[in-house]
Structure 1
Amino acid sequence: MSAPDPDLVVVASPWARRTWVAAYALLLLALVWVLLSWAGVLVVVGSTVVPVWAAGPVLLFAWAVVRIGLSVFRVPGPSPESWWRWLLPTVTACAWVLVPLTAAASGFGGTSYVVVEPAGSGGCRAVVAESSFFLTGWGTVHVAGGWGPFAPQVGSYRTDNGLQPVSAGSYGVSWDDRFGGLLNVGGTLPDGDPDGGSGLVVFDC
């Protein structure tokens, strides 16, 4: 009988294999959160935004706990000949570099999130992320309700003096069955300003 292919025999038992897969699934999920953040996509669960600066560190901590447990109980890992043995350190290094940097950048501007009410028909709603630094402020508008928990960016604006108008309640939202939603953000820089953007954002799910 020929010896089994080492690339197919990752761990000694199904239980051990599932445990290792679960551990590194946490890292991959953290990296996915980073990629979504870079792409301007928020994760919205119900009426709560789950930002990368909150989810990323939690996932890394959970991975560390599981990984320590694997070492303490000496759960066998991938065989030395398996290509997984070379992939896992790469995934680990990427996660521990990219997740903290992205989380720090996301939280650096004191980002606040507002799920705008009222919602439109079918649960479509606008979600706003606002940040500020010194005398400048900026916001991104996302639309939730059409892509499950994912809310892609549909617009942006800038403000003066570090204002966060939506967080302060300075906005209005209206809905039309034909054209979707219109978010009017107060206190934004004018459209003609090179650093402006628009305080009027039309969106639809």
Structure 2
Amino acid sequence: MRWGIREQRLREALVEIGARLYARGLVSANDGNLSARLDEGRILITPRGRSKGHLRPEDLVVIDPEGRVIQPGRGMAMPSSEWPMHVEAYRQRPDVGAVLHAHPPFTVALTVAGVPFPSEILPEVVMGIGKVPTARLAVPSSEDDALAIREWIREHDAVLLPHHGVVTVGRTVEEAWVILERIEYAAKVYLLSRILGEARPLPPEFLAALVTTG
């Protein structure tokens, strides 16, 4: 199948990021979903029920902003059942070009324990991400799941889903990936710090300097 250069690159980027997520244990089995905005009327999204670690460019599905299938994936694959969450992110953020949803274990563990994301322990998080809110509990793949992120995704590039995972957005697929990887790293550092002793936030004056620099 032949696509335009831009679509080809987006398909390859989503396949690459899916492989990274799977290889690094940020998704397991057939979990997680990824998408990219092709244009105002089309969204490229990963197929339902397939491992993100073994995708091919032709597996990806093209949908419209209402979730209707424009072009199925290989073998008549249908879009991820969590497409409403992706569509909602694009509706709320015209600047966004990609949406990633994964289940990074350290990050999910924070939500299971009811611990807010530690946004103030690492300079790179303060400067590169900022606050990371946690949405209310919602059933995965439901319309309510999309509604749960609505108020947060307008102002934040990442939202935690309690007992579930994380959603990150970016202008590009790579940008959304960097945010997701950084969130999991921060969650891991926080939990290791708690094992060793106290997880201390950065001093207020240092935080202020970072915000000014960022």
Normalised by the length of structure 1, the TM-score is: 0.30
* Higher relative contact order, structure no. (Cα contacts within 8 Å, ≥ 6 residues apart): 2
Larger Rg: 1
Q: When you count strand as a share of all residues, which structure comes out higher?
A: 1
Q: When you count helix as a share of all residues, which structure comes out higher?
A: 2
